[in-house]
Chain A
Amino acid sequence: MHVNVTVNGAETGADIEARLLLVHYLRNELGLTGTHWGCDTSNCGACTVWLDGVPVKSCTTLAGMADGHEVRTVEGLEGTDLDPVQQGFVEEHGLQCGFCTPGMMMTARALLDRDPDPDEATIREAISGNLCRCTGYENIIRAVRWAATHEAAARAADQEGAGV
C-alpha cells in the first residue's frame, strides 16, 4: 500500500507492506532514529510519537493508520532553540542512557500543552506509560517542572512585553 504521512511538518510517502509498524516507517523508511523501539507491547513508551497531536505508541500503530495524518517525533521538538522540555531534561539530569528520553519528552510536551502547570502527581500519572530504567523518575519529574516554570516565565515576559 502507499501511505502519505506528514512528519514534523514535512510530507513523506512510501510504498509499504500493510503490516509495517509506524515505528519502523519512521526509523527505517525515513531514517528518523530518534524514536526508539523497546518492548512490542505498548508498555515501555520508548516509541512514543504524536499522531495528530496525541501521544501514541508507534510500536503498536500501523504506518497505514498514519496515512493522511500528522506525526511529530523527537526530531520535531527543537525550534530556533531547544524546546523547554528538552532543555529541562538537560538542566535537571532527566536522562542517563537516553533511550527512553525521546518518548518521555513527547509525552511530557503533550502534558504541558494541555496542562501548563502540572503538579508532581499529575506528572507522575502522565509519564506512567513511559518506562525508564536509569533515573528512578525523580529527575524526569523535575525536568518537566523546569519546563513548566520556564515556559510560565516566558509567557509572563511576553505579556509584559506586549503591555498586557
Chain B
Amino acid sequence: MTATEAPIPDVSTSAAGNPLGFGRMLRKEDARFVRGQGHYVDDVNLHGMLHSAILRSSYAHARIVSIDTSAAEAHPKVKAVITGKTLETLNLAWMPTLSGDVVSVLATDKVRFQGQEVAYVVAEDEYAARDALELIEVEYEPLPAVVDARHALDPDAPIIRDDLEGRTDNKIYDWEAGDQAACDEVFANAEVVVAEDMIYPRVHPAPMETCGSVAHMDKVTGKLTIWTTTQAPHAHRTIYALVAGLPEQKIQVISPDIGGGFGNKVGIYPGYVLSIVGSIVTGAPVKWVEDRSENLMSTSFARDYHMHGEIAATREGKILALRVDVLADHGAFNGVAQPTKFPAGFFHIFTGSYDYPAAHCKVTAVYTNKALGGVAYACSFRITEAVYLVERMVTCLADELKMDPAELRMKNLLRPEQFPYTSPTGWEYDSGDYPRALKEAMRIAGYDELRREQAERRAAAAGPDADPAAPLMGIGLSFFTEGVGAGPRKHMDILGLGMADGCELRIHPTGKAQLRLSVQTQGQGHETTFAQIVSHVIGLPPEDIEVIHGDTDNTPFGLGTYGSRSTPVSGAAAAVAAQRIKDKARIIAAAALECSVDDLEWEHGRWFVKGDPSQGKTIAEIAMAAHSSLELPEGVEGHLDASVVYNPPNLTYPFGAYICVVDVDPQTGVVKVRRFIAVDDCGPRINPMIVEGQVHGGLADGVGMALMEVIAFDSDGNNLGGSFMDYLLPTSMECPSWELGETVTPSPHHPIGVKGVGESATVGSPPAVVNAVLDAIQVRQADMPFTPAMTWRALQGRNLRPDLAIE
C-alpha cells in the first residue's frame, strides 16, 4: 500500500468499534445501570401517588369467619380498605389463572395457603399502609391442611377447593404421554431395570427485585396505565381487559427495567389487580410492591415434582426404555403458566438426549395448601424436571452396571446423523452433535485424570493410614437437551393467545433505525443483541439501531420473554423484518441506480452493481431515497419499514454437556464445588459475552438448587422458606469459577440459525451437581438440596425428605 492510499476500512466493525452483526459487544443498557439510573417499577413516583399493602393469611387452611376493617379505616392516613366482599360487588373477587382454574384476588370464603391475600389497604405512605394492616381483625376457623402431596388424594383428605362445584377430592388432572403398552413390554423383558424415587423440591425464582406495580386510572380519559414487573406486557394487557372488563385500547402496560424475572414475573398476581382497584377507588395512582417474604410465600413457586423413575437396559449398557410416574404438587390453585395443551408443560421430553424407542410418563397433579405456581425459575416449561429425571436415572443405571457414567452416556447419545430426530414422545429435535459436546466437556475437565485422582483418594481412604477428615471427591455428569422458543401457533397458546411474536423495524431517512419488540428484557440484554441481529442482516451499525420494548402502546403484540423464547421467536421476527428491509432496499437501490434488481449484489450493508462496486447505495442512502421524491416502481411503497409476526415452525433444541467436581467433608456434610465445566451448544452466538453471562447465571442456579434452595413446609402448612435468612441463595462463596466451552450446531429452521440459551444452564446443571455429590458419598439416591444436614444424613444411610419439616 502506498502512503496516499486510504486505509481499507474494517467492514466487520462499526465506527464505534462494535461488530456489524455477531460478536462480543458491550451492552448498551449498562450506561444507565452502572450509574444507578435504571428505572424499575419501585422507582416510579407519580404526583399524588398513594401506597398500599396486602394483609395475608397466617393460616394454610382456614375458614374466614369475619373481617373487621373499621379500625384500619379510621387510621388518619388510610384512603381505602378493600376486602373480598368489596371485590365481589365488582365481580373481581376471583380471576382466571393461566391454566383454566380460578384464583381468588382477595379470599372470600377460605384461605388456602399461608400468605394468601385477605385484605388490601391504600394509604398515604407505605409505612402507614403496613400500620393499618395491623388494625384489621380477621377471625379464622382453622382447618386441617394438606401439606404432603402424597396424602392429597387420601379418602379422608380435606377438600381444598370446595369453591369449585362438585369437587370431591384434590385431584387436578391425570395426564400421560408415550406408548405405555410398548414400554411395559420392553420392561418385562429387560435384562436390567433400575427404579428410584426422587423429589425435585419446591424452589423459588427469587429475582433480586420483588414483584410490584403502579396503577393509574385516569378518570377523565378512562385510560389505565400500569407500570408493572412483567415478563409479558402484552399478555397482561389482554388479561386485564378480560378480567376487569376494561377496554383494551385504553390499557397501557409498561414494563420498565425489570430486576430479574426467571419466571417469577409471568403470571398476574392479586397485588397487580389490587393496585388497579385501588386507583379506581381512590382516583389516585397507587403503588404496590411486595416485600421479600411476600415474594417467597405467595408468588410463583417452581418444580415440586415427586417422581418415580424406572430405566431398562441391556447388561452391556444399551438403554431400552424409560418410564416415570409423577405426583405434581400444584398448590391451592392450578396457576401454572404454560401452553394450554401441555398440562405438565414440556415434561414429556424426559427421554432426554439418548437413543431408545420406548418411553411413557404419567402425571397426576394435586391441590395442596401451598402457594400456586409450578412453572417458573428458568425451567423451560418443566424441561428442568425432565432433564433431572433422565440424568439421575442414567447415572443410577451406570451405578447398577458398574459402568463409567460418561461411557454409558456416550454409548447411548443420539448420533448426529439421526437429526432431525423424533423422540418416543413426539418431539422433533432440530439439530445436534451430542458426542462432540460430551467429548469437549471431558477434554476441558481432564475427565480421565479426575477419575484417576478419585480412585487414588478412595484407595487412600480405604488404607490403614486413612484420614477420617479427608474430603470425599465426586464427579457428576449431565447431558441435557432443551426445547425452547414456544412455539408453533397451532400447538401452543396461553389463554387462547397463540405464541407468535411481532416485531417492527423502521429505518429513518438518515439511516438510523428503531426496532420495536413484543418481548421484554429482564437482564438478557435485548437492547444490544437485537440491534446486533438487525445489524447482521442489513449491515447498519448496532449503535444506530434503537431497541424499543416493554411498553404496549409502542410495541407490537406478542407473548413475552420466558421459556428462553426471545431469541428463537422474537429474534427470528427481527431477522425476518431486517431481511424484508434488505429486499425492499434492493428494489429502491435499483430505482435510484437505474438498473435492474438482478444487476445488484449485496455486501457489507450496501447494494452495488455487479462488476462495478463504485456504483452502489448503502442502506442509509437507500433509506433517504425511500423517503425522497424518487419515483419507485409500481406497487412499491415509500419509506423503509417492515412489520413481522413470526410463527415458529418448531422449537429450537439447544443442548450441552456438564461436568461437576465436588469435595464433601465426611464429618460435616459440607459440599464444596471444586470445578464446573459447561459446554453449551446454542447454535451461533449473537453476542458470546452475553451468552456466557446467561450460562454463568444458570450454573449458579444449579448450585443453588442442588445444595441450598428449598421451600419446605411444616405439618400445619407454615412456609419455612419465607425470607432470605431461610431461603438460601448461592453467594460468591459457593460458586466456583465456571469453565465454559462451546460447540456450534445451527438450527436448520431459525432464520439465522440461533437457538435460545437463557435457561439451558438452569435446566442442565442441577443433576450434574447432584450426581457429583452422590458420587462423592457413594450413595445411589438421595434428594437435593444437599445442605450439610441432608448430605450428612445421606452419608449415614438415612435420607431425609427435603419438602417437609424435620420432625
Query: Residues on A close to B: CB < 8 A?
Result: 17, 19-20, 24, 27-28, 31-41, 43-44, 46, 73-75, 77-78, 82, 86-87, 89-91, 93, 95-102, 105, 120, 123-125, 127-141
Contact = CB atoms under 8 A, between A and B. Distances in A.
Given A96-B697, A133-B262, A134-B260, A89 B733 contact: no
Contacts of A91: 26
Contacts of B291: 40
Contact of B208 (A28, A77, A87, A99): A99
Given A39-B723, A93-B693, A96-B693, 10 more contacts: A24-B126, A27-B42, A31-B45, A37-B42, A38-B292, A96-B694, A98-B29, A128-B731, A133-B729, A139-B692
Contacts of A134: 260, 523, 693, 697
Interface in B541-573: none
A136 B699 contact: yes
Interface in B708-745: 723-725, 729, 731-733, 735, 737-738
Contact of B210 (A38, A86, A90, A123): A38
B421 interface: no
B525 interface: yes
A63 to B, nearest CB: 12
B696 A136 contact: yes
A101 B33 contact: yes
Contact of A135 (B207, B209, B693): B693
B30 interface: yes
Given A19-B127, A93-B689, A138-B737, A133 B208 contact: yes
Interface centre among A90, A105, A133 (most CB of B within 10 A): A133
Interface of B: 26-27, 29-40, 42-43, 45, 126-127, 206-210, 257-260, 262, 291-293, 522-525, 689-690, 692-700, 723-725, 729, 731-733, 735, 737-738
A137 to B, nearest CB: 4
A98 B259 contact: yes
Contact of B733 (A90, A101, A124): A124
A98 B689 contact: no
Given A41-B723, A136-B700, A95 B738 contact: no
Contacts of B693: 93, 96, 134-135, 139
Contact of B35 (A41, A78, A131, A139): A78
Contacts of B30: 89-90, 95, 98
A38 B35 contact: no
B724 A139 contact: no
A105 B34 contact: yes
Contacts of A86: 34-35
A19 B738 CA distance: 43
Nearest to A103: B208
A43 B258 CA distance: 20
Contacts of B524: 96
Nearest to A31: B45
A131 B731 contact: yes
Contacts of B732: 123-125, 127-128, 130, 137, 140-141
Q: Is the interface of A mostly helix, strand, loop or mixed?
A: loop
B660 to A, nearest CB: 14
A133 B723 contact: no
B724 A44 contact: yes
Nearest to A129: B731
Nearest to B725: A41
B27 A90 contact: yes
Contact of B525 (A32, A96, A131): A96
B260 A97 contact: yes
A76 to B, nearest CB: 9
Given A133-B206, A136-B738, A82 B34 contact: yes
Contact of B697 (A77, A98, A136): A136
A136 B702 CA distance: 10
A137 B259 contact: no
A132 B39 CA distance: 18
A123 B731 CA distance: 12
A32 B36 CA distance: 8
Contacts of B733: 124-125, 128
A130 B697 CA distance: 15
B209 A99 contact: yes
A89 B291 CA distance: 28
A31 to B, nearest CB: 7
B208 A131 contact: yes
B292 to A, nearest CB: 4
B523 A97 contact: yes
A49 to B, nearest CB: 11
Contacts of B699: 136
A77 B34 CA distance: 9
A105 B693 CA distance: 18
A74 B36 contact: yes
Contacts of A35: 36
Given A31-B45, A40-B293, A139 B26 contact: no
Nearest to B39: A33
Nearest to B35: A78
A39 B725 CA distance: 9
Contacts of B735: 136-138
Nearest to B693: A93
Interface centre among A17, A20, A93, A141 (most CB of B within 10 A): A93
A73 B37 CA distance: 12
Nearest to A143: B34
9 contacts: A33-B40, A34-B38, A127-B731, A128-B733, A129-B731, A132-B208, A133-B729, A137-B735, A139-B696
Nearest to A106: B36
A71 to B, nearest CB: 13
Given A133-B206, A133-B697, A98 B33 contact: yes
Contacts of A97: 207-209, 257-260, 522-523
B543 to A, nearest CB: 14
Contact of B523 (A20, A96, A105, A127): A96
Nearest to A43: B724
B34 A101 contact: yes
A77 B37 CA distance: 12
B738 A98 contact: no
B328 to A, nearest CB: 25
B33 to A, nearest CB: 3
A38 B289 CA distance: 11
B391 to A, nearest CB: 20
A43 B728 CA distance: 9
B696 A135 contact: yes
Contacts of B259: 36, 97-99
Contacts of B207: 97, 99, 133
B208 A43 contact: no
Given A46-B208, A95-B30, A75 B36 contact: yes
Contacts of B523: 95-98, 134
A116 to B, nearest CB: 19
Contact of B36 (A37, A43, A102): A102
The 5 nearest A-B residue pairs measured at CB: A34-B36, A97-B523, A99-B259, A98-B33, A136-B696
